[in-house]
């Protein structure tokens, strides 16, 4: 057993960290304040080629293993989780099924421009009445001659209102629940497809999240992203572990920035004649949250490593997401306490970490749903 990153992975991590520090860090506060999609940064950052990270080299990608991808997601989220979400939507959820099932023309039209950052991609799951419970999806696709007609409304879609290419989850038979689901590619400009309301979020600002409306949207047969009708749930499992590990990596990224800021503050802030970091109660906070942070990272990296080895770490990926996000919430809470009243001030970082961290609770499954699934797995002997 060897827990070290390879020399190459370490170099990659350091290079990404440096890129993030140079390009994204200086813009983080502005992105949060204006809540506008940072087009200029998007162009500058995506021109470096990172969006193809997990895809084969023949498409201009890096063919990176899941552990290397996690290092990228973690470093990105150290700066702006909002921007990281826009980026990762194009890198993974918004492009995976287009890459996996799209024909050459579709790849040329949507996949390649999306991983070059020239087009914005998204994946639409959530609706007003369904999120983690995807079997309750109401957006419906009806088979017609030569294609499908889609009707429904999606909500909480990252990149949604800006999307050029949307991978849409829709049921072909509502009576089948999770066994009637499919993915369809819908492109901007298709009649009946339009962006709806943009949501104003507490955190993760700068990433545009909102509704997408489908009114009698016709797409041709080749836009069904899957080999068989009704297998959407099965296809989804191909990336679900990775999505959950990615959410864990993002939580770890936020927590690292919070801890770094907290340590800096605790070393400088004086109270009763000495730095507050000299007091045991402050040290206890750091001892505890850093231990939890390292535990989260081990869980996340081990699950990611298993994905790379072709295993199916379904439970570990759920644990990684659940543990890391709870750790992150605890961590930013403790850091705001280290800051005292300044933790409540917009002039300091912790209030932003506090707001951003909460958005990670939902993606990849709420913790209530994840714990239910984990509890069921454990009770039925599927743990280990």
**Chain residues that interact with other proteins, rule: CB under 8 A:** 7-8, 11-12, 14-15, 18-19, 22-23, 47-50, 52-53, 57, 62
CB nearer to other proteins: give 4 or 200: 4
CB nearer to other proteins: give 14 or 34: 14
| Token duo for residue 222 | 């080749």
Is there a contact between 122 and 155 (Cβ–Cβ < 8 Å)? no
CB of 24 to other proteins, least distance (A): 11
CB of 143 to other proteins, least distance (A): 41
Strand, helix or coil for residue 210: strand
Is there a contact between 53 and 62 (Cβ–Cβ < 8 Å)? yes
CB of 71 to other proteins, least distance (A): 12
Residue 276 CA to residue 25 CA, distance in Å, equals 27
Is there a contact between 27 and 39 (Cβ–Cβ < 8 Å)? no
Can you list the alpha helix ranges (DSSP code H) found in 39-80? 39-46, 66-79
Is there a contact between 50 and 72 (Cβ–Cβ < 8 Å)? yes
CB nearer to other proteins: give 52 or 365: 52
Residue 292 CA to residue 326 CA, distance in Å, equals 10
CB nearer to other proteins: give 11 or 344: 11
Q: At what angle do helices 66-79 and 280-308 cross, to 10 degrees?
A: 140
CB of 60 to other proteins, least distance (A): 8
Strand, helix or coil for residue 171: strand
CB of 270 to other proteins, least distance (A): 12
| Token duo for residue 275 | 């730095």
CB nearer to other proteins: give 117 or 365: 117
CB of 268 to other proteins, least distance (A): 14
CB nearer to other proteins: give 62 or 149: 62
Residue 27 CA to residue 29 CA, distance in Å, equals 6
CB of 110 to other proteins, least distance (A): 20
CB nearer to other proteins: give 256 or 314: 256
Residues in the chain: 384
């Amino acid at each position: 057993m060897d827990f070290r990153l390879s020399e190459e992975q370490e170099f990659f991590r350091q290079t990404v960290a440096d890129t993030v520090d140079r390009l994204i860090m200086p813009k983080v506060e502005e992105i949060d304040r204006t809540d506008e999609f940072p087009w200029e940064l998007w162009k500058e950052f995506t021109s470096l080629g990172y969006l193809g990270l997990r895809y084969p080299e023949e498409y201009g990608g890096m063919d990176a293993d899941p552990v290397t991808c996690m290092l990228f997601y973690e470093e990105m989220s150290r700066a702006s989780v909002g921007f990281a979400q826009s980026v990762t939507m194009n890198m993974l959820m918004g492009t995976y099924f287009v890459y996996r099932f799209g024909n050459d023309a579709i790849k040329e039209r949507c996949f390649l421009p999306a991983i070059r950052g020239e087009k914005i991609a998204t994946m639409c799951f959530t609706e007003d009445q369904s999120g983690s419970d995807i079997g309750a999806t109401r957006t419906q696709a009806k088979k017609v001659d030569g294609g499908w007609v889609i009707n429904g409304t999606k909500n909480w879609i990252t990149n949604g209102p800006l999307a050029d290419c949307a991978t849409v989850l829709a049921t072909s038979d509502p009576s089948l629940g999770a066994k009637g689901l499919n993915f369809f590619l819908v492109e901007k400009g298709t009649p009946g497809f339009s962006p709806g309301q943009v949501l104003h979020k507490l955190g993760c600002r700068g990433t545009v999240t909102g509704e997408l409306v489908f009114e009698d949207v016709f797409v041709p047969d080749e836009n069904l992203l899957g080999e068989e009708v009704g297998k959407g749930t099965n296809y989804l499992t191909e990336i679900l572990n990775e999505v959950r590990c990615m959410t864990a990596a993002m939580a770890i990224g936020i927590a690292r920035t919070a801890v770094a800021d907290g340590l800096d503050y605790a070393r400088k802030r004086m109270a009763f004649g000495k730095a507050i970091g000299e007091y045991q109660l402050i040290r206890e906070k750091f001892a505890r949250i850093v231990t939890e942070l390292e535990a989260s990272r081990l869980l996340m990296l081990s699950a990611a490593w298993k994905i790379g080895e072709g295993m199916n770490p379904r439970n570990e990926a759920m644990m990684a997401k659940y543990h890391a996000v709870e750790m992150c919430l605890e961590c930013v809470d403790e850091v705001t306490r280290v800051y005292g009243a300044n933790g409540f001030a917009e002039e300091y970082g912790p209030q932003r970490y506090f707001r951003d961290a909460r958005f990670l609770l939902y993606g990849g499954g709420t913790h209530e749903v994840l714990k239910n699934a984990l509890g069921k797995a454990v009770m039925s002997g599927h743990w280990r």
